Amino acid sequence: MSVGCGGGGGGWSGRGGGVVRAVVGGVRWLWGRHRTTVIVTAAVAVGVAWRRHRRAKKLRRQWDSAGADVIVLHTLRYGRRCPHLSPFALKLETFLRMAGLEYKTDFEVPMGPKGKTPWITVNGEDIGDSQLIMERLAGRYGVHLALQSSSPEQQAAGRAIAIMTDEHLYWGLVHWRYYADSEMRIHELITLPAYFRLMLLLFRHRIRKLLNIIGLGRHTTQQVEEIMRRDLQAISDYLGEKAYLMGNEPCEVDCSVFGMLGQFLWNAPGSPYLAMMNEEFPNLREFCLRVKNQFWPDWKQCLDPQQQ
């Protein structure tokens, strides 16, 4: 052990010494030849870091002043056809409304502690992941929706539907948005700053790799559509003639399903999924309109730009 460590340590320090010498040499060379550039670059870097730090502190103060138990929902800015481009954000904001919890929205810092959107801050605590957030809030504020009074069998079905929606149907949406939609109509849905558009291009590349890793990206587009059609068929069959998935009263599962199907209905122009919602699964379309009418009376005012 000690031999290995000693030997490794010696090798490391030898290589490390070479690197340090090269860096020091490089800095000396820059300092000697481009002193002004080095000073200006360092000053700009410090200035940018300082501004970032001050902005972060200011935002934190703002979120903390929301009030005790007031939830700050952090998401991407509202979209043009549907308030949220993210199914998870639409799911979560619908839940906050359904549960009657007090909240404010923040569009300044959409990515949260887990590097994803949406996330919340409540009483100074940051929490990521829509599902975990809903569970935490339900426990903390005693939110009692229809799922809690359903039978264990219904609860099991509800969980299966929510997970299928969040973890499977979601990838169908992603596949459409970042892969199959050659016209990239995502740009019609939300106004993004220039740097975000650039990030979207990088994100697109990452998504394609990810789709291959999870396997969906290895199917033909037609096969993906067929797989997604079966998910939609399953939800449509379970919903049947009911107003909500668990019966006459809405619950958390409806939030997941609405968050996702709302993307197909309003945020996937030209997609086969929009056509499926309109032509093959009218009860899912009606369901979305029902949830929208009940929990989003201000839908139009939430669009960007606001509408009357």
Q: Binding string to ligand GSH for residues 165 to 184, with x set by CB under 6 A, is what? A: -x------------------
Among 77, 116, 159, 229, binds ligand GSH (CB under 6 A): 116
| CB of 248 vs ligand GSH, minimal distance in Å | 27
Q: Which two tokens stand for residue 146?
A: 């229809």
Residue spans of alpha helices (H) in the chain: 2-33, 35-64, 87-98, 130-141, 152-164, 170-175, 194-214, 221-239, 252-266, 272-275, 282-295, 299-302
Among 14, 115, 193, 240, binds ligand GSH (CB under 6 A): 115
Among 71, 72, 75, 86, binds ligand GSH (CB under 6 A): 86
Q: Which stretch binds ligand GSH (CB under 6 A): 3-11, 113-121, 147-155, 299-307?
A: 113-121
Give the Cα separation of 82 and 229 in Å (integer): 22
Angle, CA of 77, 169 and 103, to the nearest 5°: 35
Q: Which stretch binds ligand GSH (CB under 6 A): 30-38, 42-50, 66-74, 115-123?
A: 115-123
φ/ψ of residue 244, rounded to 5: -130, 170
Q: What letter would DSSP give residue 103?
A: E
Q: Is 104 in the site for ligand GSH (CB under 6 A)?
A: no
Give the Cα separation of 222 and 107 in Å (integer): 36
> Are 82 and 268 within 8 A, CB to CB?
no
Q: Is 131 in the site for ligand GSH (CB under 6 A)?
A: yes
Q: Binding string to ligand GSH for residues 215 to 244, with x set by CB under 6 A, is what? A: ------------------------------
Among 94, 130, 154, 165, binds ligand GSH (CB under 6 A): 130
| CB of 68 vs ligand GSH, minimal distance in Å | 25
Question: Which C-beta is closer to ligand GSH: that of 131 or that of 150?
Answer: 131
Residue whose entry in the numeric block shows the structure tokens 């929490």: 127
Residues 138-167 close enough to bind ligand GSH by CB under 6 A: 166
| CB of 126 vs ligand GSH, minimal distance in Å | 13
Q: Is 204 in the site for ligand GSH (CB under 6 A)?
A: no
Among 88, 103, 171, 273, binds ligand GSH (CB under 6 A): 88
Q: Which stretch binds ligand GSH (CB under 6 A): 112-120, 185-193, 221-229, 285-293?
A: 112-120
Collapse the DSSP code of 127 into the 3-class scheme (helix H, G, I; strand E, B; otherwise coil) and give the result. Answer: strand
Q: Distance of CA 56 to CAs 53, 61, 199, 242, 278, Å?
A: 5, 9, 21, 46, 44
* HSE (side-chain half, CA atoms, 13 Å) at 184: 7
Give the Cα separation of 101 and 96 in Å (integer): 5
Q: Which two tokens stand for residue 209?
A: 């790799």
Question: Which C-beta is closer to ligand GSH: that of 128 or that of 243?
Answer: 128
Query: By rule CB under 6 A, what count of residues binds ligand GSH?
Result: 9
> Are 270 and 181 within 8 A, CB to CB?
yes
Q: Which residues are near ligand GSH by CB under 6 A?
A: 86, 88, 115-117, 129-131, 166
